[in-house]
Structure 1
Amino acid sequence: MHASTAEHSLQQLYSEHHGWLNAWLRKRLGCAHNAADLAQDTFMRVLSKDSDLPAIREPRAYLSTIAHSLMVNFWRRQAIERAYLDALSLQPEHYAPSPEERELIMETLLAIDAMLLRLPPKVRQAFLWSQLDGLTYAVIAERLLVSERMVKKYMAQAMLHCLLLEQAG
């Protein structure tokens, strides 16, 4: 598609549906500021895709699908931030990290969360039970209805993902 045609199509999509999308997000988020941010992020995502805008038959369905995905990510990030801040509030004040350290910790937690989401469900569950709950492989195997050997394979897969995450960082 010619650049000016794509630009015109995006402008038209934006002008015709931005207000609707913003209201749709505001209703779900209960916050005008976050809704405005996610509406902008949605159009930025549309801009970054190599899609043929004139070929979109249901623009509101298209936009709401993208916005919903962004909203789920927003809620996950909020939940992780709340959990981190709750854990931090239980620490003595002299252990409080600096704002820069907190930001690095949050980035790391979000990267770990994203890595865990990429794992198959049984691998993720085995890893979390082992690392967070301290369950033995035998107990995990029982809970997942698999062999202990399969749990070892799951753990190896999860550890490989952790190593790849560490190398990327």
Structure 2
Amino acid sequence: MQATASIAISERIQEQTDETPLDAPERAEMVRRLFQEHNRALVGFLVARLQSEAEAHDVAQEAYVRLLQLEQASAVSFLRAHLFTIAGNLAIDRIRKRQVRERNSPQQFFEELLTRPGPDRTAMAQEELEMIKDALRELPEKCRRAFMLHVFGGHSVQEIAVQMQLTDRMIRHYVARAMAVCRQRLDDAEAG
């Protein structure tokens, strides 16, 4: 029965011209069938890329939503391929965002600072630490406190938000701002 429905959908797609939009119920039915027939494969494809089942399900859902938004038959003539293309692109976006977050994490920044090799590392690290302390002193109290609790205290953003009675978003903003100031101070010292 499922194969018959797929054939009917394929025939309906082939009947469409490039200029004839599909109506919402037809689009919804096509996407529903795709979900039934290919969701397991799609989620497996995304898990392999994202290394996270939860993220894979999120991206799959977003891909189905985007597929539902298509109006032209030319855009849906190869629905399964288009679904996997959409999902693959969304997965790449997620991976890039994850890499940016990891690259800008305070823990990584200080790990690099404290593990530089060389005989003069201790003197350089002490000098850099003093520059960072000076930079942090120039920040507003809440910003400095959030940064210190997160980086040196090891508290999560959520814990700090509760403790400081602020939103998670504000704490992330404070930590990112402090990181930017510290990085800029070190970059200026290196350039000068």
Q: Which runs of 5+ in 1 are unaligned?
A: 108-131, 134-169
Q: Which runs of 5+ in 2 are unaligned?
A: 1-21, 111-131, 134-143, 151-160, 162-167, 177-186
Q: Which residue of 2 aligns with 1:100?
A: 169
How large is the RMSD of aligned CA atoms in angstroms? 3.7
Which secondary structure does the structure 1 equivalent of 2:106 belong to?
A: helix
TM-score normalised by length of structure 2:
0.46
**Cα pair 2:43 2:60 within 8 Å, conserved:** yes
Counterpart check, 1:61 vs 2:81? yes
Structure possessing the higher relative contact order (Cα contacts under 8 Å, 6 or more residues apart): 2
Q: 1:95 Cα deviation (Å)?
A: 5.6
Q: What percentage of residue pairs aligned between the two structures are identical?
A: 21
CA distance in 2, matches of 1:30, 1:64: 17
Counterpart amino acid of 1:63?
L
Q: Which residue of 2 aligns with 1:39?
A: 60
Distance 1:34 1:106, change over 3 A: farther
* Count of aligned positions: 111
Q: Which residue of 1 aligns with 2:46?
A: 25
Which secondary structure does the structure 1 equivalent of 2:71 belong to?
A: coil
Counterpart amino acid of 2:23?
H
Q: Which residue of 2 aligns with 1:128?
A: none
CA distance in 2, matches of 1:69, 1:95: 35
TM-score normalised by length of structure 1:
0.51
Which secondary structure does the structure 2 equivalent of 1:40 belong to?
A: helix
Largest Rg, 1 or 2? 2
Distance 1:33 1:106, change over 3 A: farther
**Cα pair 2:34 2:80 within 8 Å, conserved:** no
CA distance in 1, matches of 2:72, 2:172: 34
